[in-house]
Chains A and B, each alone.
Chain A
Amino acid sequence: MNQNNITVIPRHGDNFKDKLFLPAIYDGVKVTFKHLFENVTDINAVDTLEYPEEQPTDITSRYRGLHRLTHRPDDSIACVACFMCATACPSDCIFIEATERDDDKDEKMPKSFFIDTLECVFCGYCVEACPCDAIRMDTGIFSLTGNSREDFVMDKEQLLSHKGAFGEEVSCARD
């Protein structure tokens, strides 16, 4: 072991000034009082979001918000009920029931599509797994409220009704 690699951290508190405590307390009070005075004289400069009245503006397009199911350009559902998302889901919160699709666009579509958002961990694996760009988390919705547990189970219609918040509206993988 090379002696030069050892850094000796200087110890404090041995001199008279440090043992007196009062100079340090004075310095500390100076800092806290400065903050107090600045904030009392201009309360609106406090960088706090007054949440329900003021909404966050810094949600980026990569933010994983509430899920949505995308549409094709002709407004029909993009999902083909391949169960990839439900398989990838680490918290097993996606419940899909498939049915036959008769408009010649694809062979299958979901009959029902539930996401239990109380179980969901918002990891985004479903979005990664989807081969059809049919499920996305780009709604920018970060707060979800309800009066019962059932309110938090999103069904197909609710998921289809969510709008993308960052411009891309329809599925990029189905046409």
Chain B
Amino acid sequence: MSTASIVVAVTAFVLGALLALLTIPVLVWLERRIASLVQDRLGPNRTNVFGFRLGGVVQSFADVVKLLLKEEYYPSHIKKGRWLFMLAPVITFAAALLAFMAIPFADTLHIDGEALRVQALPIDYGVLWYLAIGAIGVLGVIFGGWMSHNKYALLGATRAGSMVISYELPLGLSIVSFIVTYNTMDFNAMVQWQSGTFFGFLPAWGIFVQPLAAIILIISLFAETNRNPFTVAEGESEIVAGYMTEHTAMKFAMYFMGEYVAMNTASAVIITVIFGGYQVPWVSTEMMLAHFSGFALSLMIAIPVIVFLLIRWMRKNNTVRPTVSTDSGRNFETKVLSIALIGMTLLIEAILLYLAFFANSPLGESISVMLFQIVVFVVKLMAFNIFFILIRWTVPRFRYDQVQHLGWYYLLPLALLNLFVTALVVVGVNS
């Protein structure tokens, strides 16, 4: 193994862990902020560190500290199997976290003839890994609900079990359609397949190539992450907190964070399989590398525009109404953040200028393309997470027998039909 491969592997692993773990507080904050903005409220916007509130995202870190310092309480009626009671949230959390690791964040890096995957787990059977590990998550829910010896928890766990049998089959079958279409089980190869065009003008994204399978995949993944409209394993109005009724402090936080990691993972899978992953539409990695100076120039124009719009938005919205007596340091924060953003823009501009016109370094070029793709991936990931959150605050819940009805009577036959047609078309095209 060369030094480069070790560096890339470690970087990709750190990146995967950070993307999965650091998005939790951001997602919790986004959920609360978007919920309130949708309902014409403000949401958490006050917590700050030395006047830096970053829109209120600091609140999530305060929440983590609070949950860590809570009393560790164990229900006394749990006699045997307390270890399983404690292990259950960890299973859910770890499964969601591990499933995320198979997602590619950028195209394969070619350094000195070595092909290095930018994936936390450099495996080429990512789809299988995701399906296998992702399905374990529900075991934590079932164990936790069963070991709680509580009727609400048990009902929540049985409902989670009923969910599994309703969505796993359509999920698997829709993914099989994608495997047949892309002719691969490697997430990265799937993304590369989607870099072309479809009918000459559409980007060849899964959503355009396989619209029915894409919709089934999105619906099944909403069910898998236990989010609205499929929150059946918990429900304040009928079964309290469901399977996590008896879990307190960090045990509860593990379930809670696991839910958000699962949502993040589902978003990552959706954008990788049907929204072109880290690719910008119509532009493949090879094109960017071949015309690097053009790519750098367009970035050098786009970044200042984006930063300008961001600063303008911040100057308008990081303020308070004139009727409010104090702005609590928002002006100062805007100034510091603007200076930091402008400084970073200048730095990036300088680096791009150097790489595009003065240096002839293929390594630097491929690394900057990789960084660009990671940024695109994160932007798409966050956009889809916001879509997840928006759906939660839009639609009411299904009853759990309605979910089974939906899964078995509609999604499963549709997925089978879609698979059949896909197979026919693929065989017809290839023969």
Contacts and interface: CB of A to CB of B under 8 A. Distances in A.
Interface in A11-52: 22, 25, 28-29, 31-33, 35-36, 39-44, 46-48, 50
Contact of A46 (B40, B215, B390, B395): B40
Interface residues of B, number: 24
Contact of B317 (A22, A33, A44, A50): A44
A41 B42 contact: no
Contact of B323 (A29, A32, A39, A54): A54
Nearest to A51: B324
Nearest to A34: B38
Contacts of A150: none
B41 A48 contact: yes
Contacts of B324: 50, 53-54
B319 interface: yes
A14 to B, nearest CB: 16
A32 B390 contact: yes
B80 interface: no
Given A25-B391, A29-B394, A35 B37 contact: yes
Contacts of B316: 42
Contact of A42 (B39, B317, B325): B317
A39 B43 CA distance: 12
A46 B37 CA distance: 8
A53 B325 contact: yes
A32 B38 contact: yes
Contacts of B3: none
Nearest to A22: B215
Contact of B321 (A28, A41, A54): A54
Nearest to B316: A42
A46 B43 CA distance: 11
A101 to B, nearest CB: 44
B320 A44 contact: yes
A44 B315 CA distance: 12
Interface string B29-52: 000001001111110000000000
B393 interface: yes
Interface in B26-80: 34, 37-42
Contacts of A39: 37-38, 40
Nearest to B323: A54
Nearest to A44: B321
Nearest to A43: B317
Contacts of B34: 36
Nearest to A54: B324
Contacts of A31: 394
B364 to A, nearest CB: 36
Contacts of B326: 53
Contacts of A41: 313, 317
Given A46-B37, A48-B42, A36 B321 contact: no
A44 B320 CA distance: 6
Contacts of B37: 35-36, 39-40, 46
Given A32-B390, A32-B394, A41-B313, A50 B320 contact: yes
Interface string B308-346: 000001001101110111101000000000000000000
Contacts of A25: 391, 394-395
Given A54-B323, A54-B324, A28 B317 contact: no
B391 A36 contact: no
B317 A29 contact: no
Nearest to B410: A19
B277 to A, nearest CB: 23
A121 B27 CA distance: 42
Contacts of A42: 316-317
B139 to A, nearest CB: 29
A43 B215 contact: no
B320 A36 contact: no
Interface in B294-320: 313, 316-317, 319-320
Interface in B363-411: 390-391, 393-395
Contacts of B41: 46, 48
Contact of B393 (A32, A53, A54): A32
Given A36-B37, A48-B42, A53 B320 contact: yes
A28 B395 contact: yes
Contacts of B39: 35
B73 to A, nearest CB: 29
A29 B394 CA distance: 6
B394 A36 contact: no
A152 B132 CA distance: 61
B40 A44 contact: no
| Pairs A-B, 9 closest by C-beta atoms | A28-B394, A39-B37, A43-B317, A53-B324, A32-B38, A32-B394, A54-B324, A53-B325, A44-B321
26 contacts: A25-B391, A25-B395, A28-B394, A29-B390, A29-B394, A32-B38, A32-B390, A32-B393, A33-B390, A35-B37, A35-B38, A35-B39, A36-B34, A39-B38, A40-B37, A42-B317, A43-B317, A44-B317, A44-B319, A44-B321, A46-B40, A46-B41, A48-B40, A50-B320, A50-B324, A54-B323
